[in-house]
Amino acid sequence: MFSWRAEVRSGVWVAFTDAAAGNLALHVGDDPVEVLRRRGWLEAALGLGDRNFQYMNQVHGNEVASIGARAADAPTADAMVSLGEPLAVMVADCVPVILVGEGAGGESPVLAVVHAGRPGVASGVVPAAVTRMRELGAAGLSAWIGPSVCGGCYEVPEAMRDDVAARVPAARCTTSRGTPGLDLPAAVRSQLQDAGVRVEYTGHCTLEDENLFSYRRDRHTGRFAGLVWTDARTAPR
């Protein structure tokens, strides 16, 4: 059900699901009733009570949405920030990033999720999320980078590699086959470190692990999720 899960700070949890938790996306042709059932089961299993994970309509951009209590519709964005509200990001090769910061004056922690695919990495969605968190008073930021396709497996045309690497040099790599590649996890790490964010965890390769969904392995695949939430001790009132 989880490829990784931990209480990362007192009352704050981060997890990345795996294929055993099922597809959690509504946009891949799956039965929406079943998708919503899986989401509800996940929320119950993690003890969210009457709270729900906030999902977003991801479009490979750099828009950051601010999420308040009881948000209704999924925003069109590739990052979300909240003052303790549970958040979710869906991927199947792109980089899921979870961010946690201390709230100002001992208030609720500032949480964020980021969908960092190739266009989002190149256009700075990760630094944009960090900036929004700090605008909300977050300090002591840490990040957890979930499973995604590794540089050894992500082959791209040379011109595409050069275009992304011109903006994020750490993305440049050569695949295990000796062809031009992009190392998106390394690019995200570099953006986080440049922004003064401590990286606590980096997941393994989705393409190499059949327990995870991978679009490059199967274009008709589902999506797993990166999740961040607070338990009863720190949940916003």
Q: pLDDT tens across 150-199, in order?
A: 999 999 999 999 999 999 999 999 999 999 999 999 999 999 999 999 99
Q: Is residue 235 part of a domain?
A: no
Pair 151, 121: CB distance under 8 Å: no
**Residues spanned by the domain of 215:** 2-230
pLDDT in tens, 45-59: 999 999 999 999 999
pLDDT in tens, 82-127: 999 999 999 999 999 999 999 987 788 999 999 999 999 999 999 9
64-67/79-82 β-pairing: parallel
* Per-residue model confidence (pLDDT) at position 237: 56
Q: Is residue 23 part of a domain?
A: yes
Q: What is the pTM of this model?
A: 0.96
Strands, E assignment, the chain = 2-9, 12-17, 64-67, 79-82, 87-91, 95-102, 110-116, 139-145, 172-174, 180-182, 198-202, 224-230
79-82/110-116 β-pairing: antiparallel
CATH assignment of the domain containing 182: 3.60.140.10
Q: Identify the DSSP state of 155.
A: B
Using DSSP, state whether 157 is helix, strand or coil.
coil
Q: Is residue 236 part of a domain?
A: no
Name the average pLDDT for the chain: 95
Q: Is residue 95 part of a domain?
A: yes
Q: Is residue 213 part of a domain?
A: yes
The total of structural domains in the chain comes to 1
- Give the whole-number percent of the chain exceeding pLDDT 70: 96
pLDDT at 209 > cutoff 60: yes
Q: Is residue 237 part of a domain?
A: no
* Per-residue model confidence (pLDDT) at position 104: 82
- Average confidence (pLDDT) over 212-217: 97
Q: Is residue 56 part of a domain?
A: yes
